[in-house]
Amino acid sequence: MDRPAVRAALAALEAHRATISKTRTIDLFAADPRRFERFSVQLDDLLFDYSKHKANDETIALLVTLARAAKLEERRAALFGGAEVNSTEHRPALHMALRNLTDKPFLAEGKDVMPEVRDVRAKVAAFADAVRSGAIRGARGDKITDVVNIGIGGSDLGPAMAARALSPYASPHLRAHFVSNVDGADLGDTLKTLDPAKTLFIVSSKTFTTQETMANAASARKFVADALGEAAVADHFAAVSTKLDKVAEFGIRPDRVFGFWDWVGGRYSMWSAIGLSLVIAIGPERFEEFLRGGQDVDEHFVSAPLDRNIPVLMGLLGVWRRNLWGDDVHLVIPYDQRLGRFPAYLQQLDMESNGKHVCRDGSPADMRTGPFVFGEPGTNGQHAFFQLLHQGTDVAPIDFLVAAEPNDADAGHHALLVANCLAQSEAMMRGRSTAEAAEALRKQGASEAEIAALAPHKTFVGDRPTSTFMYRKLDPRALGRLVALYEHKIFVQSVIWDINPFDQWGVELGKELCNRLVPIVQKAGQSLAALDGSTAGLVEWRRRYVGR
């Protein structure tokens, strides 16, 4: 798509980059004593600090110009107005409605979706309360002690991440489990720990046809039927799906089926009935706090000026690094063990959304789109791949996430954790010159020959960009805010790149080829003639060993 205003804004940014590249970020602090205050934004008890990016007032102004050239404000209005922003699937993307706790309507094709959203939300809450209280029991009258969510992708990553993150708020009488991989070890290892008479399985699949999910669901069903009898299946299963006929055929009662809508993308669906396992774990009241956190960010995203708007700044700084500096990777490092699955959750959210090679009109993308996203909890990461981040030849922007105070953890440990987080962000920016390394070695008594040999190895270039998110405590509302911030950041970047962040056609080809290969892999007599040489060779090699 031809966008002359965007090209002009990018050209201005490139000229600016050539100038600011000569200035070290640490020197920007020396020139402006109020830099931290001016280059951070607070949303209640959450702080976004982007002062360690190589950016000044002109950078932000030029990035805002780029956003306006790409018509970000108009696209944002279309998103919240229920327009067909998912153009290839002809749908709106109204996941914001799922966390709307006000009387405000959300329209899809002119119809307010909120009455249905509230009805499903109430049904989910009532079912969760009944499981938690023991009003809903197993076929033999046992209280439910274990809840197993069976899904994949968005039907697994979100609830699994959030259940781990919010485990201090979970009922001590219920254990949550998440099975996604079609590898039988995933379900098998989980079932070993369970009593079928005390287990509830939730099958999360909109179409009730997802290959991996339904294979695991069928095995879980057999686990229950073999132990308790066929009639017990109805007492030990619930479903999140829209296909009532397929759910009924499976043996799940209609009052245990919870629906959601086409305007909810899988990776944005944790706010919906897909979060049923999370609602059971932490309770409806805590889940509402999680929703409220998402709503906080929605209101901020819509109302805050672009240059003081956290998800807008997150997105624009990402574009600054990706498109003007050429960074291929973006890291998310939570200094919180309970956020261990947050990077994996963001991998899907970001890479499935913005991993696109064509614009919304189908023409080739004229800018580099989404980066690779990965991460691990600190402090583990700094004892592993941080070596490359500090001294490697490539630069990767980093988001650090840390709570001001611990949640159900030792205060001394937490102070050490926070100190590590802040030290890493400072080290990424400050670095260490060869002269500084030499002076440190000299103070340690090293000879001049040793200094000459070692100083280059102890040099850190620095000037590595980082953002820090600090929040009071990792509670449900804080987690809701974090998730929604990244959702809207991804949308902002999709607008700059002019791509559709709400479809995911890239996952389809592998599914199609898998369906073709299943009978060939399962049955030794099937012909390999239609396969490429590598695939045929691998199938043949496997056939030699199966059954030995």
Examine the domain organization and report whether 499 and 388 are in the same domain. yes
Q: Side chain identity at 200, as an amino acid letter?
A: L
Check residue 365 and give its pLDDT.
Answer: 96
511 classed as catalytic: yes
410 part of a folded domain: yes
Question: What is the domain range of residue 339?
Answer: 22-81+304-503
The model's pLDDT over 483-503, given as tens digits with 9 standing for 90+, comes to 999 999 999 999 999 999 999
Check residue 177 and give its pLDDT.
Answer: 98
Percentage of the chain exceeding pLDDT 70: 99
Examine the domain organization and report whether 63 and 166 are in the same domain. no
Query: Other CB atoms closer than 10 Å to residue 234's CB: what's the count?
Result: 15
Tokens for 449, please give them: 């020959």
Rounded to the nearest 5°, which phi and psi values hold at 237?
-135, 145
Examine the domain organization and report whether 413 and 464 are in the same domain. yes
pLDDT at residue 301 is higher than 70: yes
433 part of a folded domain: yes
Stretch 20-28: mean pLDDT: 97
Examine the domain organization and report whether 264 and 349 are in the same domain. no
Using DSSP, state whether 141 is helix, strand or coil. Answer: coil
Of 486, 503, 520, at which residue does a domain stop? Answer: 503
- 109 falls in which pLDDT band (50, 70, 90)? confident
Check residue 242 and give its pLDDT.
Answer: 87
Instruction: Give the integer Cα–Cα distance in Å for 71 and 498.
Output: 10
Q: What angle do CA 303, 354, 241 make, to 5 degrees?
A: 85
292 part of a folded domain: no
- 548 falls in which pLDDT band (50, 70, 90)? low
pLDDT at residue 547 is higher than 80: no
5 part of a folded domain: no
3 part of a folded domain: no
- 2 falls in which pLDDT band (50, 70, 90)? confident
Check residue 409 and give its pLDDT.
Answer: 82
Examine the domain organization and report whether 249 and 171 are in the same domain. yes
Q: Which of 212, 288, 289, 352 is catalytic?
A: 352
State the CATH number of the domain containing residue 368. Answer: 3.40.50.10490
pLDDT at residue 129 is higher than 90: yes
Instruction: Give the integer Cα–Cα distance in Å for 23 and 1.
Output: 35
Examine the domain organization and report whether 397 and 462 are in the same domain. yes
Instruction: Give the integer Cα–Cα distance in Å for 281 and 338.
Output: 15
Examine the domain organization and report whether 233 and 171 are in the same domain. yes
Stretch 30-56: mean pLDDT: 97
The model's pLDDT over 44-55, given as tens digits with 9 standing for 90+, comes to 999 999 999 999
Rounded to the nearest 5°, which phi and psi values hold at 504?
-155, 55
Q: Which of 357, 383, 443, 523 is catalytic?
A: 383
DSSP 437: H
The number of domains in the chain is 3
Examine the domain organization and report whether 518 and 478 are in the same domain. no
Examine the domain organization and report whether 512 and 451 are in the same domain. no
11 part of a folded domain: no
Instruction: Give the integer Cα–Cα distance in Å for 486 and 41.
Output: 15
Stretch 75-85: mean pLDDT: 97
Instruction: Give the integer Cα–Cα distance in Å for 23 and 78.
Output: 39
pLDDT at residue 1 is higher than 80: no
95 part of a folded domain: no
pTM of the prediction?
0.96
Average pLDDT, the chain: 96
More confident residue, 509 or 300: 300
Q: Which of 104, 173, 222, 511 is catalytic?
A: 511
Examine the domain organization and report whether 384 and 432 are in the same domain. yes
pLDDT at residue 89 is higher than 70: yes
pLDDT at residue 433 is higher than 80: yes
Computed from CA positions of residues 184, 185, 187, 191, in that sequence, does the dihedral angle turn out positive or negative? Answer: positive
398 part of a folded domain: yes
pLDDT at residue 229 is higher than 90: yes
Check residue 408 and give its pLDDT.
Answer: 83
Stretch 302-317: mean pLDDT: 98
In 3D space, the residue among 288, 516, 293, 489 whose CA is nearest the CA of residue 373 turns out to be: 489
Examine the domain organization and report whether 463 and 511 are in the same domain. no
508 classed as catalytic: no
540 classed as catalytic: no
The model's pLDDT over 449-479, given as tens digits with 9 standing for 90+, comes to 999 999 999 999 999 999 999 999 999 999 9
Stretch 297-322: mean pLDDT: 98
Q: Side chain identity at 437, as an amino acid letter?
A: A
Question: How do strand 107-108 and strand 111-112 relate by DSSP bridges?
Answer: antiparallel
Examine the domain organization and report whether 357 and 387 are in the same domain. yes
